[in-house]
Structure 1
Amino acid sequence: MEARKLLNTISFIEKLKGTMRHCQTSNGYEESVASHSWMMALMAYFMKDEFEQIDMNKVILMCLVHDLGECFTGDIPVFQKIDQNEEKEKELLENWIESLEEPFASELMSLFKEMNEQKTMEAKIYKSIDKMEAVIQHNISDLSSWLPLEYDLNLTYAFDQVSFNEYLLNLRNEIKKDTILKIEKG
Structure 2
Amino acid sequence: MDTRKLIEILGTAENLKNNTRHSWTSQGRHESVAEHSWRLALFAYFLKDEFPEADMDKVIKMCIFHDMGEAFTGDIPSFNKTAQDEEEESKQLYNWVDSLPAPYNTELRAMYEEMEALETLEAKIYKALDKIEVIIQHNEADLSTWIPLEYTTNLDYGNGNVAFSEYLKKLRKDIYNDTVQKIHK
Q: Aligned equivalents of 2:156 and 2:28: distance in 1? A: 24
Consecutive unaligned residues in structure 1, runs of 5 or more: none
Aligned twin of 1:100: 100
CA distance in 2, matches of 1:178, 1:38: 22
Q: How many residues align?
A: 185
Q: Deviations over 1:46-74 (max 9, x none)?
A: 11110111100000000000000001110
Q: 1:60 aligned to 2:60?
A: yes
TM-score, L = length of structure 1: 0.98
Distance in 1 between residues matched to 2:96 and 2:2, nearest whole Å: 17
**Residue-by-residue CA offset, 1:88-135 (whole Å, 9 max, x unaligned):** 100110011000000000000000000000000000000000001000
**Residue in 2 aligned with 1:31?**
31
Structure 1: distance between partners of 2:125 and 2:170: 14
Q: How does 1:17-166 map to 2 (within 5 A)?
A: 17-166=17-166
Query: What residue ranges of structure 2 are gaps of 5+ in the alignment?
Result: none
Identity score, percent: 54
CA distance in 2: counterparts of 1:5 and 1:72, whole angstroms: 17
Give the TM-score taking structure 2 as reference length: 0.99
- Give the partner amino acid of 1:148: P
Match of 2:31, SS state, is strand
> Which residue in 2 is equivalent to 1:175?
175
Structure 2: distance between partners of 1:38 and 1:95: 24
Q: Could you give the per-residue CA deviations for residues 20-58 of structure 1, whole angstroms, max 9, x where no partner exists?
A: 000100101110000000010000001111011110000
Letter in 1 for 2:149: L
RMSD over aligned CA atoms reads 0.6
Give the distance between the partners of 2:96 and 2:23, measured in 1 at CA: 27
> Counterpart of 1:180 in structure 2: which amino acid?
V
Distance in 2 of aligned mates of 1:171 and 1:2: 43
Deviates more, 1:18-27 or 1:3-12: 3-12
Distance in 1 of aligned mates of 2:15 and 2:23: 18
Partner residue in 1 for 2:3: 3
Q: Within 2, Cα distance between the matches of 1:9 and 1:170?
A: 38
Amino acid at match of 2:79: F
Cα deviation, residue 5, structure 1: 1.2
